[in-house]
Amino acid sequence: MKNAKQLNRRQFLTAAGAAAASVPYLIPSGVLAAPGRLGANERITTAHIGVGGRGGGLLREVTRFRDAGEVNIAAVCDIDKQRLDNAVKTAGEGTDAYHDYRHILMRKDIDAVVIGTPDHWHGVQVVHAAETGKHIYCEKPACCTIEEGKAMVAAAKKNKVSVQIGSQGRSQPEAYLAHRYLVNGNIGHISRVDCFHYPSPEDKNPVPDSDPPAELDWDMWLGPLRWRPYNKRYCHGVFRWLLESGGGQIRDRGAHVMSCAMWWMGADGTGPVTVEATGTAPKQGLWDSAVLMDVTYTFKNPDWVMTWRQMPNDQLPPAEKRTADELNREIRKISRPGYGAIYRGDKGEFIHWGGDGGTWAERKARNWEPPAGAKDVYKSPGHFEDWFKGIRTGSQTIMNMEAAAGVANLCILGNLSYQLGRKLEWDQANQTIVGDAQAQRMMSRPQRHPYHL
């Protein structure tokens, strides 16, 4: 059921058209718009695919925009019935519930989808949504294979849809301050960025395969992945620790920390020439992503190096202590110091912690007053707001599909080098691994019928 308040643009236009036919007057949208709100014909009608865990968080975020009159939430979808039921309660009366996301894609009244499914679904669902003309917000990392990333970029471009990938660190207020500080040469020429992160977890309590719980559609949870029996250690949430689906910390948080690094280094659209990884494997259990990890990405023209290191907790850089005065000035305490990056320039160093919803810049960037003539950088109005702007105006989103696939490729290549136990050469222009036939095959992964790109 949809109440009048939730009339979407197309329904409004239909209604307005009917009204125009019977009473030959067109009603300007501004007449219907409440003060301080967008007109009804500018509301974006969304649907949510994957509404547990992070997907549930995204749904709650979007309800804020719904309550502010910016969007309508038309539908929610999940393959876990309990999660779906909870989402219907969150989204409220009038929201349709679906098990199969393709029902949503078939609906003409839905403008945009918010995808919060496990990572192995991102590629397929983004491509399908783009092919059906939906604008897309999709959780990070963008993709699990190089080929998925290429298909996502092509589908978004061909269908002219606005895509925002959920590396929301780029939209954080302190990310803007860090970016501005770095591009103005405050630490000089930066030739090295060292990303740090605490280890991926090991499964301390492995369990045998079993029947899936009644509320879960195991076939659809697997989707494009090859079939295997259900095991509790695949889902929910813990899919992150499997190389096939989540890819471990490097893909989960690397898609945040390296996203900031690529943006601030002006390196979106570029890629490394070599990638070399080593790591420590878990000693038991289903999860197979590296517990500790060292990856080196070498970039050329311009020359710089980025590293990704999952290290023991006692080796992580300590968090900067923020004064009581700072905390009173809407500056948040660094609550998650366990990941971030150190930027090393020829005139100094700079640290930022986090890189996702929590992004904290070192004090010197926060206190820096730009002199006259200083360069400014894009300041995101917020990750969702930036996406809405992209939908309404066609502007490029801050974590657009090309940038997000580029960052995901870094994470993917790091894992491939770890799995293969050898250095890889990457050809950015042709988006391919060079001189390693096996690694080239691993750039894609055949998908189960009918869940394919």
Partner 1 sequence: MSTNDFKKASLAAGAAATMTGKARAARRNRGVKRLIRRIEDSDAETRTEAWQSAGDVGAPAVQPLALVMTHEDLEVARAAKRAMWKIVRHAGRPGAPNAKTAVVGKLYGLLGADQPVSVRREVLWMLSEIGGMRAIKPIAELLSDKHLREDARMALERIPIQRAVQALKAGFEIAPEDFKPNLAQSLRKRGVNVEGYPCVKLVPTK
Could you say which of 67, 93, 100, 427 contacts partner 1 (CB under 8 A)?
Answer: 100
CB nearer to partner 1: pick between 131 and 268: 131
Contact of 231 with 210, CB cutoff 8 Å: yes
CB nearer to partner 1: pick between 138 and 442: 442
Contact flag: residue 238 with partner 1 (CB under 8 A): no
The radius of gyration of the chain from alpha carbons, rounded to an integer in Å, stands at 23
Q: Which stretch binds partner 1 (CB under 8 A): 83-91, 97-105, 314-322, 329-337?
A: 97-105
Shortest Cβ 451–partner 1 spacing (Å):
7
Contact flag: residue 99 with partner 1 (CB under 8 A): yes
Contact flag: residue 217 with partner 1 (CB under 8 A): yes
Contact of 274 with 423, CB cutoff 8 Å: yes
Shortest Cβ 332–partner 1 spacing (Å):
40
Shortest Cβ 277–partner 1 spacing (Å):
13
CB nearer to partner 1: pick between 169 and 282: 282
DSSP string, 42-85: GPEEEEEE--SHHHHHHHHHHHHHHHTTSEEEEEEE-SBHHHHH
Contact flag: residue 227 with partner 1 (CB under 8 A): yes
Residue 119 φ then ψ, to 5°: -55, -30
Contact of 280 with 293, CB cutoff 8 Å: yes
Could you say which of 5, 157, 226, 375 contacts partner 1 (CB under 8 A)?
Answer: 226
Q: Which stretch binds partner 1 (CB under 8 A): 109-117, 186-194, 326-334, 439-447?
A: 439-447
Alpha-carbon span 291 to 311, nearest angstrom: 9
Shortest Cβ 286–partner 1 spacing (Å):
8
Could you say which of 82, 278, 315, 438 contacts partner 1 (CB under 8 A)?
Answer: 438
Tell me which residues in 43-82 interact with partner 1 (CB under 8 A). none
Contact flag: residue 294 with partner 1 (CB under 8 A): no
Angle at 62 between CA 59 and CA 67, to 5 degrees: 125
Exposed (0-12), middle (13-18) or buried (19+): which is 107, by Cβ within 10 Å?
middle
Contact flag: residue 450 with partner 1 (CB under 8 A): yes
Contact of 189 with 422, CB cutoff 8 Å: no
Q: In what order do the strands lie in the sheet with 190-197?
A: 359-361, 348-354, 339-345, 190-197, 304-310, 292-299, 274-280, 424-427, 432-434
**Residues touching partner 1, count (CB under 8 A):** 43
Exposed (0-12), middle (13-18) or buried (19+): which is 428, by Cβ within 10 Å?
middle
Residues forming contacts to partner 1 in the complex (CB under 8 A) are 99-100, 102-103, 105-106, 124, 128, 131-132, 206, 208, 217, 220, 226-227, 281-286, 288, 419-422, 435-438, 440-442, 444-452
